[in-house]
Amino acid sequence: MKIVVTGAAGFIGANLIKGLNARGIDNIIAVDDLTDGDKFRNLADLQIADYIDADDFYELFAESAFGNVEAVFHEGACSDTMEPDGKYMMDNNYALSCDLFAACQEQRTRLLYASSAATYGGSSTFRESPEFEKPLNVYGYSKLLFDQRLRRELGADFSGTATQVAGFRYFNVYGPREQHKGRMASVAFHQFNQFRAEGKVKLFGEYGGYGRGGQMRDFVFIDDVVAVNLWFFDNPGKSGLFNLGTGRAQPFNDVALAVVNTLRQQQGDAPLTLEEAAHGSLIDYIDFPPALVGKYQSYTQADLTTLRSAGCQHAFADVQTGVAAYMRALTEGEAAKA
């Protein structure tokens, strides 16, 4: 069985390869752009059969250069929500995805791809339906346009394909192997480094009708994202567009407190309440950045009705559980480097 993973050296792509490796699957073609050479670290401990540069892959794949490929996990994209270059975003996220879809259909290769909760943007309802799709930036639009293209070609529920096509609208994913993402890494990753450097973490203050640290997101642990992708890989008859979040919105304060208490516990200190952490200046609330005004989702919560209706009953970790596991992984990683 041959598998392709695009964005293979990225956060989700590398974790998918890890998940496939855990099943004994290593006939994997990894596709990425290693201009940022440090991303190799995400692949260094994984087993793959080959690496192909993203500039070369799509044309070669369309020519059936890789023979019989069972499935493509398409995670490759520019995920920087602040990227202003719309032409680049549409070429990279939309046009390449369209070409890949056409080639997969021709070769009867299953396509499991990354969409995004950014397609909902300013909406207050997060259900896989056009009336709730209101992207706030060109990144969200580039993802939405590909979803819309597939709806036109395959029908609203993608039922017009004999070969599996499944898209996943990722909500706020966090976990190991995101260190290369810089400002786009999760708040948990940044807070880990802040606590290590300064003994405190930072959160936005009041915004959008929410009190300080009170903005709410659907935070989903990377292990759960991998598990759902692999569930669909195990169920090739399931196609469609699916939210991939926990179905549970939690405030950023919950993330901050989980970071603080997990790292304090490692130092032998007792856990704190949110009030105690804030009063002790372990959580530092900063002014909301003007650059994000009008472009920021203050609340997200995945509607899992479609996912559950497909038969996927995966149980998702809450913030307290997932962030604690992530902090332990980061600490163990630091220890391994020492």
DSSP assignments along 160-215, one per residue: T-SS-EEEEEE-EEE-SS-GGGGGGS-HHHHHHHHHHHHSSEEEE-SBTTB-TT--
* Tens digits of residue pLDDT in 230-274: 999 999 999 999 999 999 999 999 999 999 999 999 999 999 999
Tokens for 173, please give them: 């994913």
Among 158, 93, 163, 172, smallest CA distance to 128 is for 158
* Tens digits of residue pLDDT in 182-234: 988 999 999 999 999 999 999 999 999 999 999 999 999 999 999 999 999 99
Query: Angle at Cα 170 formed by Cα 165 and Cα 171, nearest 5°?
Result: 155
- 84, 118, 193, 252 from 187: Cα distances, Å: 22, 17, 10, 8
DSSP state of 139: H
pLDDT at 333: 82
pLDDT at 335: 63
Answer whether residue 291 shows pLDDT above 80. Answer: yes
The fraction of the chain above a pLDDT of 70, given in percent, is: 99
Answer whether residue 295 shows pLDDT above 90. Answer: no
Structure confidence at residue 338 as a pLDDT band (50, 70, 90)? low
pLDDT at 82: 79
Cβ neighbourhood burial of 70 (10 Å; 0-12, 13-18, 19+): middle
Q: What residues act catalytically? A: 139, 181
* Tens digits of residue pLDDT in 111-147: 999 999 999 998 999 999 999 999 989 999 999 999 9
pTM for the full predicted model: 0.96
Q: Using CA atoms, how far apart are residues 105 and 163, in angstroms rounded to an integer?
A: 7
**Which three-class secondary structure state does DSSP give residue 286?**
strand
Answer whether residue 2 shows pLDDT above 60. Answer: yes
* Tens digits of residue pLDDT in 302-312: 999 999 999 99
Among 313, 196, 282, 229, smallest CA distance to 25 is for 229
CB atoms within 10 A of CB 89: 21
Structure confidence at residue 76 as a pLDDT band (50, 70, 90)? very high
338 vs 175 pLDDT, higher one: 175
Q: Using CA atoms, how far apart are residues 152 and 155, in angstroms rounded to an integer?
A: 6
Structure confidence at residue 79 as a pLDDT band (50, 70, 90)? confident
Q: Using CA atoms, how far apart are residues 255 and 277, in angstroms rounded to an integer?
A: 12
Q: Using CA atoms, how far apart are residues 186 and 177, in angstroms rounded to an integer?
A: 11
- 60, 172, 280, 326 from 254: Cα distances, Å: 46, 14, 16, 14
296 vs 93 pLDDT, higher one: 93
CB atoms within 10 A of CB 92: 18
Structure confidence at residue 81 as a pLDDT band (50, 70, 90)? confident
Instruction: Give residues with Cβ within 8 angstroms of 232, minimum separation 6.
Output: 112, 164, 166, 238, 312
Among 166, 206, 175, 180, smallest CA distance to 74 is for 166
Instruction: Please state, rounded to an integer, the average pLDDT across all residues of the chain.
Output: 96
